[in-house]
Every structure is written in structure tokens, then in C-alpha cells.
Homo-oligomer: A and B are copies of this chain.
């Protein structure tokens, strides 16, 4: 299906096709497209940002419909919500048709994502019709298709990250299943032992109920004990009876809580790692494959080798990035065509996608205005002393201490008049700091885009809200060199945590819809100051005198989407609430609730939370293993060789101006005038290693390991890479521990 452009295409069409390949490689997209001119135009339209925003908008609308449907936070009539839903479905269908137009038919129908979306649209329509017609004759039924809505969020090609996590979960399932079977087996064995040990002793729980007499009750209690939620309550009757019985529970906790839960983490982490590596390998090979396709379209023969001529290369770059500035483009060309031979060879062409991803920053090296206007005053010895003082580390320390004292004052009682005087003192100290800094540093650098820090300082001047010293304290602590590794890793994983947010949203949404259908209205919330008998039992006689009502958990209910999400969040944070909630809802719904709570625990805690932990562990291990090492891509090396790179860290703090000044002066001495002219005022900012995501770092490592002339396996093989190919046949000491 993917052939080089047919000879009938004009040069412009060729360029468009090549640019499509390059921009796919640049953004790690994988939208297969047909090579007909119409399909290419549609492809560009498909990838336009407005279309992507629109589809996300409709997904949001579709998901948020649950807020307006019964049981609703803001009730709307069924007609309104169903019209909105049909609109969304139409939009999804349109997007799918659009995708089908740019994709070869074979590829489109083989992709389960597309089938999934079509089936879900059909099911939703059927459900809408059935529910609507039943409603019309006043029979109330269940809107089950609402639980399918997250399918759209997962299956549109834009949500690659969430889908990757889902794939990772799917691959982990078989392994997890075996451990889970073993674990359930162990729980059952312990339940039988408990029945034999405690069943006939006539013990009673705190509530006066018989203790450990029914095997299923025991199994449930022991399952909850794994979450540590009902410890030590579940143990107390036996322990009060005889000290030695505690050994049974200790054994249980060691085996099932500590060992099995760690094994779950190990299994999930191991699969996550395998899967991640496989995805990276796939990505890198796909990227290379696409760049090869683009090269094959544009290549011409010069001497013995195939190359891309400079003019075409320029037009290609402009097609991929229409808003690129001329000096920027010249710089990229300089790097790609080092010898200035008038063409770009294959190896350099393959780098284009990465080159386009490098951030470029314009640095205007300017002097302090005071220095320009009144150099005799600014350069006087007193002025220089002040400047040196402000730049000194002790100046920062002194202000750190002032901020700390300020924070303590804020924590103390505000009504004390002495403290409000102190606030004026602090305010004046901060204003002095701002003035001193403005005197010392170049103002535009000081208030630069990336200098949050100093912005903080100027906010004080404006409003002086009491919480601002915290913000500054927080920022200063976070950027302290001691914490740099931890903080930068945490910042790097920020975007990916959003992916997990998406994942959690999907699972929560499905469980919330089910929970709302099952438990809606069973528990009602009354104002906390309200003490009618109804309020004291959450509006349900089954909860009379229960621990659930006593601890005022009535607001933990499934009466609308927002409340359901909070209940599910509480269940995620495994704790006594789990047991209390489960018991509370079990009282109300005759035990059916327990199944719901256990399945939620298995899905969220055993799978998703463990993947989350695995992800954080992995991020830190990559950060640690890179901390002391030097990994540099070819591009970075080239940029450094040309002397036009500027490191991220140099942008921080006031040092910026000094450093670039120094660089600038060294520059004219070392390099030719020609080069300097082209590059003046423009620097590449290489994203510092510290601020890259795990994915990017791993990609870079893998790229530096495969040879530049390695074209990788054929496309089919790339798409079918299996995670089990990842293990080295002979593990060595370095990589196995």
C-alpha cells in the first residue's frame, strides 16, 4: 500500500508527500496514508490542530453528559442529553470516515481501534433508542451504553499514550492472572484454616456478630486484610482470646500483604519495562522508516551517492514547518550540510525530524541600561560592590532565611497586631530586594519568560497576598541543587502523569456509571448540622447505628458523578474506608456491593497503581543511571562543535547575561566572521538531559546504539515487534541487577 509516489505526481505533490512522512516522524505519529494527491491533502487536514481540538471537545462533551443525566448533578431532560450524545456520535463517525479516506482500506479494516469505535457508536445508538422508547411509555430501564463512552477517549489515534498504557496492561494480564490465582488460592487456604481455628470458639466481633463462622465472610475479610484496611479489627477478637492466634494473622500478612503485593508489583513492573522498551524500539524504527521514505521520494544521484539538493531540502523544511524563521532554517542547513556542498546526504537527511524538534531561542545580549547611560556611576567602586554583594550566595541565603521567618509568622496567629506590623517589614525587605536585583541584572533578562522566580518577587510588590512567600519558599527549595535530581525527575514525569490521569479517568468513569446504576439513592446526604433520625442513618433504615452512619460517611454515595468519583478515589487510597464503605453498601444492597468493591480494588490497586509505581521507579532509575554518564546524540555533538549551543541551566538565575557575554567574546576570537554573522543573536537551546522524559532518554539511547546506516527490519516486522524479544539471551551482571 505504501509505494514511492507515482511518476505522474508533480514535484509539489512529491514534496507534500515527503513532508507528510517527515512530520509523522517528527511527532512520532503513525497515521498511514495513501499517496494519491487528494489523500495527502486530506491527511494534512486530518492532522490540523483544529480537527484535533474539535475531536477532544466532543469527547469531553460526551463524557461530561453523565453530569446531566439521571442521577444528575445538574439535571437536564433526556431529550437534551440524547441530542447532545447523537451530535457527539456524529462527530466521532465523521472523524472515522475522514481517517478511512486517508488510510489504505486494508490497513483501516485490520485496525481493531476503528472496529471498536464503530461497534460502540452502533451500541450507543441502539441503547438510546431502546431507552428512549421505554421512557416514552414510562418504563424505567438502564442506560448501560454510558459505561462504553471512554472507548472513544482510548481509541482515537490522538490518545497514543493512554492506549500504550492499556496495551501494557493487556500484555501484563496473563502473568498477573497466574499470580492472582496463586494469591486467591492462598487466601482460600487461609480462610479454611481460619474456619477450623476460630469457627467453633463462639467468638464475637466488637459489634457482637459471630466471628469467622462463614467461609465466604472469612474470605472477604481476609481479602480486605490484604489492603490492610481492617487490620487490626479483624484480628482483635482472636487476639483478645489468645495471644498465640496473632501468629496466624502475622503469617497471613507477611505472605499475602507483603510478599504477594510485592510480587504483583514485580510482575507489573517487569512487563512495563519490557513493553516500554519494545515501544521505544518500534518508535525509533518507524521514525527511521518514514525518513527513508521521504528520502527516497526526494533523492537525486550526485556522483556515486544519492542526496537531496539544498533547494528541495529548504522547501521541504518550509512545508513541514511553515512558520520557521530564515536564520533558523539556515542554521539547520549549516548543520545538515556541513561541507557547504550544496546538497544534504542521506545520513544528515535522516536527522531532519530530530533537528526540527530542537528548540531555538533568540538571545539578545544587551548591557544594563544604567551602564549604557551612566557608565561612570554604574562602574564606580561602590556600585560594583553592591552588584557583587547582590550576586553573592550569602545574599540569597539571607533572603531565604527572611522568607522562612515570614512563613513561620504566617503560620502563627494573624490577629496578633505585632504580626501585621511584621508583614510591613517583610514587604519593605522584599521591595528592597527587587530594587537591588533590578540594579544588578539586566531588567529584560530578569523579568524573562522563564524566570518564574523573579516574577514571584514582583507579585509581592503588587498585591502582597500572604501566601506568596510560600510560593517563593517552595520554588527556592525545589531548585536547590541538593534536590535537583529528584525535582527534575518529578517535573519530567509530570506530562506522563497526565496520561495516568486519563487512564484513571477511564476506569473511574466506567465504575462510576456502574456504581450510579447500582447504588443510586441508596444512601443520602443531609446537612451535617441536621440531626433528624433520617439524617443519622443516611436516609436508609438499613444503616441505623452502623459505623458508616456513625462516622458521617453519608456524603460518600453514588448519587451523582462527582460524588461517585470521590468515593472511588477513597477506595483507591486503600484504608478503613474501604471496609466501612463496603460494609455500609453491603448492608444496603445485600452483599452485591462487595463484588463491586473487590473488582475495583483488583483493577485499580493491583493493576493501575502498580503501573503508576512502576513508571515512577523507571523514571528514577533512568535518571539515576544517567546522572553520572554522558549520553549525547550526534545532533547535540554537531551543535556543540559549531559553538551555537546554549545549555538550559545557563538560562536560570542571573548568570545568564554574564555567561552569554563571555561566550560571545570568546566566539569572535575562535571562529570565522562568516559563521558569526549567520549565527549572531541566535542560539540553539538543547533541551538539557535533566529536563527530558524517560521516553525521550530511552529513545536517544537506543538511537545511539543502532548504526546510522541500519535501516531496520521491514515495516511489517516493526509493527509486530513482541516484548518477549527484548531479553538478552545471556543476561550479564550489569543489567540483571
Residues of A within 8 A of B (CB): 178-179, 181-182, 185, 189, 192-193, 195-196, 206, 215, 228-233, 236-237, 239-241, 243, 246, 250, 253, 257-259, 262-263, 265-267, 269-270, 273, 276-277, 280, 407, 410-411, 466-467, 470, 473-474, 477, 482-483, 486-487, 490, 497, 525, 528, 550-553, 555-556, 562-563, 566, 569-570, 573-577, 609, 612-613, 616-622, 624-631, 694, 698, 701-702, 705, 724, 727-737
Q: Across the A-B interface, give the 5 residue pairs with the lowest CB-CB distance, nearest first.
A: A735-B735, A266-B620, A576-B576, A262-B616, A625-B731
Q: Which residues of B contact A617 (CB under 8 A)?
A: 262, 265-266, 269
Q: Taking CB as reference atom, which chain B residue is nearest A185?
A: B477
Q: Which residues of B contact A487 (CB under 8 A)?
A: 182
CA distance A80 to B367 in the complex (A): 84
Partner of A486, one of B178, B228, B237: B178
Given A192-B407, A552-B206, A575-B229, check contact A705 B733 (CB 8 Å).
yes
5 contacts between A and B (CB under 8 A): A240-B528, A253-B573, A269-B617, A625-B736, A631-B730
Partner of A624, one of B181, B270, B609: B270
CA distance A263 to B620 in the complex (A): 8
Q: How far is the CB of A386 from chain B (nearest CB, A)?
A: 32
CA distance A474 to B528 in the complex (A): 51
Q: Which residues of B contact A627 (CB under 8 A)?
A: 727
Q: Are B243 and A562 in contact (CB under 8 A)?
A: yes
Q: Which residues of B contact A735 (CB under 8 A)?
A: 625, 734-735
Given A483-B178, A575-B229, check contact A734 B730 (CB 8 Å).
no
A563, A575, A733 — most chain B CB neighbours (10 Å): A733
Q: Are A277 and B629 in contact (CB under 8 A)?
A: no
CA distance A257 to B230 in the complex (A): 19
Q: Are B263 and A618 in contact (CB under 8 A)?
A: no
A276, A467, A474, A701 — most chain B CB neighbours (10 Å): A701
Q: Which residues of B contact A263 (CB under 8 A)?
A: 486, 490, 616, 620
Q: Are B733 and A701 in contact (CB under 8 A)?
A: yes
Q: Which residues of B contact A556 (CB under 8 A)?
A: 232
Q: Taking CB as reference atom, which chain B residue is nearest A727?
A: B628
Q: Are A612 and B262 in contact (CB under 8 A)?
A: yes
CA distance A477 to B206 in the complex (A): 36
Q: How far is the CB of A525 from chain B (nearest CB, A)?
A: 8
Q: Which residues of B contact A466 (CB under 8 A)?
A: 196
Given A258-B609, A736-B621, check contact A569 B250 (CB 8 Å).
yes
Q: Are A483 and B575 in contact (CB under 8 A)?
A: no
Which secondary structure characterizes the binding site on chain A? helix
CA distance A402 to B696 in the complex (A): 55
Given A262-B612, A575-B229, A621-B736, check contact A727 B629 (CB 8 Å).
yes
Q: Are B189 and A474 in contact (CB under 8 A)?
A: yes
Q: Are A630 and B730 in contact (CB under 8 A)?
A: yes
Q: Are B231 and A575 in contact (CB under 8 A)?
A: yes
Q: Are B236 and A616 in contact (CB under 8 A)?
A: no
Partner of A228, one of B280, B573, B729: B573
Q: Are B528 and A241 in contact (CB under 8 A)?
A: yes
Q: Which residues of B contact A195 (CB under 8 A)?
A: 411
Given A178-B486, A265-B613, A277-B737, check contact A731 B629 (CB 8 Å).
yes
Q: How far is the CB of A139 from chain B (nearest CB, A)?
A: 33
Given A231-B577, A528-B241, check contact A258 B736 (CB 8 Å).
no
Q: Which residues of B contact A193 (CB under 8 A)?
A: 467, 470
Partner of A620, one of B253, B270, B628: B270
Q: Which residues of B contact A525 (CB under 8 A)?
A: 240
Q: Are A629 and B231 in contact (CB under 8 A)?
A: no
Q: Taking CB as reference atom, which chain B residue is nearest A570?
A: B232
Q: Taking CB as reference atom, which chain B residue is nearest A609?
A: B258
Given A486-B178, A612-B258, check contact A736 B552 (CB 8 Å).
no
Q: How far is the CB of A420 from chain B (nearest CB, A)?
A: 16
Q: Are A625 and B259 in contact (CB under 8 A)?
A: no
Q: Taking CB as reference atom, which chain B residue is nearest A225?
A: B573
Q: How far is the CB of A716 from chain B (nearest CB, A)?
A: 23
Q: Are A573 and B730 in contact (CB under 8 A)?
A: no
Q: Which residues of B contact A474 (CB under 8 A)?
A: 185, 189
Q: How far is the CB of A201 from chain B (nearest CB, A)?
A: 12
Q: Which residues of B contact A411 (CB under 8 A)?
A: 192, 195, 215
CA distance A422 to B730 in the complex (A): 54
Q: Which residues of B contact A215 (CB under 8 A)?
A: 411
Q: Which residues of B contact A609 (CB under 8 A)?
A: 258
Q: Are A266 and B621 in contact (CB under 8 A)?
A: yes
CA distance A410 to B277 in the complex (A): 48
Q: Which residues of B contact A250 (CB under 8 A)?
A: 569
CA distance A273 to B734 in the complex (A): 10
CA distance A731 to B621 in the complex (A): 11
Given A266-B621, A734-B735, check contact A551 B236 (CB 8 Å).
yes
Q: Are B267 and A620 in contact (CB under 8 A)?
A: yes
Taking A192-B410, A625-B735, A735-B735 as given, write out 15 further A-B residue pairs in contact, using a Cβ cutoff of 8 Å, ordered by the A residue number. Answer: A182-B477, A185-B474, A193-B467, A206-B551, A206-B552, A232-B575, A236-B552, A239-B566, A262-B613, A262-B616, A266-B616, A267-B620, A280-B733, A622-B737, A625-B736
Q: Are B737 and A618 in contact (CB under 8 A)?
A: yes
CA distance A730 to B734 in the complex (A): 12
CA distance A553 to B236 in the complex (A): 7
Q: How far is the CB of A503 from chain B (nearest CB, A)?
A: 13
CA distance A674 to B257 in the complex (A): 57
Q: Which residues of B contact A230 (CB under 8 A)?
A: 575
Q: Which residues of B contact A705 (CB under 8 A)?
A: 732-733
Q: How far is the CB of A319 from chain B (nearest CB, A)?
A: 33
Q: Are A737 and B698 in contact (CB under 8 A)?
A: yes
CA distance A474 to B255 in the complex (A): 14
CA distance A239 to B701 in the complex (A): 47
Q: Are B575 and A575 in contact (CB under 8 A)?
A: yes
Given A196-B467, A411-B195, check contact A729 B628 (CB 8 Å).
yes
Q: Taking CB as reference atom, which chain B residue is nearest A73?
A: B243
Given A552-B206, A626-B736, A705-B732, check contact A616 B259 (CB 8 Å).
yes
